[in-house]
Amino acid sequence: MTFAPPTDGTSALGGEQVRGEQALGGEQATWTGLPRPAAAYIAALNAGDPDAVAACVTEDFRNEHASPAGRGCVGRAAYRERLPGFLAAFPGLRYVPDADPVAAGDRVAVPYLMTASMPEGALRIRGLWLLTLRAGLVAHRVDYWDSGAVPAGSRPADGAATPEGTAAAD
């Protein structure tokens, strides 16, 4: 199923379409047709604010990962507890669009490019979130990302420096 974003300034899930964050290097990145709850979630991650990120998810939030290096969790409190480790592990974390999102009903697929400034150099990970939205919040996220893109030297023994390791749960 494909989705064409409305042309009247609204998203398929209600509310305004939200323009994206500035990409690295200053160019404007646009998340065309991104529903407001997903846009708020991404903006909070890009701001590096664990409380704001946690405020974007439901109390019963489910966080799943397709990557073998990822570790999911259930519940806003468990997710919030992991966020500081994740954010600290990826200095300068930014999510920018890799393509336009695709929305259908309460679900949205968000292709992203995650970047960070690692001691080993610039990190670039392509991924895709499948988000389920409920009551203006993110209720479920399945994250597909390439765990091989994270340098082995960036991964502490507990896995905290992987996009969804033990202490990390973007």
Structure-token match 């973007």, residue found = 170
DSSP β-bridge partners for residue 127: 112, 145
pLDDT by position in tens, the chain (length 170): 333 333 344 333 333 333 334 444 444 456 778 899 999 999 999 999 999 999 999 999 999 988 877 788 999 999 999 999 999 989 999 999 999 999 999 999 999 999 999 888 899 999 999 999 999 999 999 999 877 777 665 543 344 444 444 334 45
Q: How far apart are CA 135 and CA 133, in angstroms?
A: 7
- In the 8-state DSSP scheme, what is residue 88? H
What confidence score (pLDDT) does residue 153 get? Answer: 55
Q: What's CA 112's distance to the chain center, in Å?
A: 8
What confidence score (pLDDT) does residue 164 get? Answer: 43
Q: Is the pTM of this model over 0.85?
A: no
What confidence score (pLDDT) does residue 37 get? Answer: 96
Structure-token match 């300068």, residue found = 92
Phi-psi region of 14 (alpha: psi -120 to 50; beta: other; left: phi over 0): left
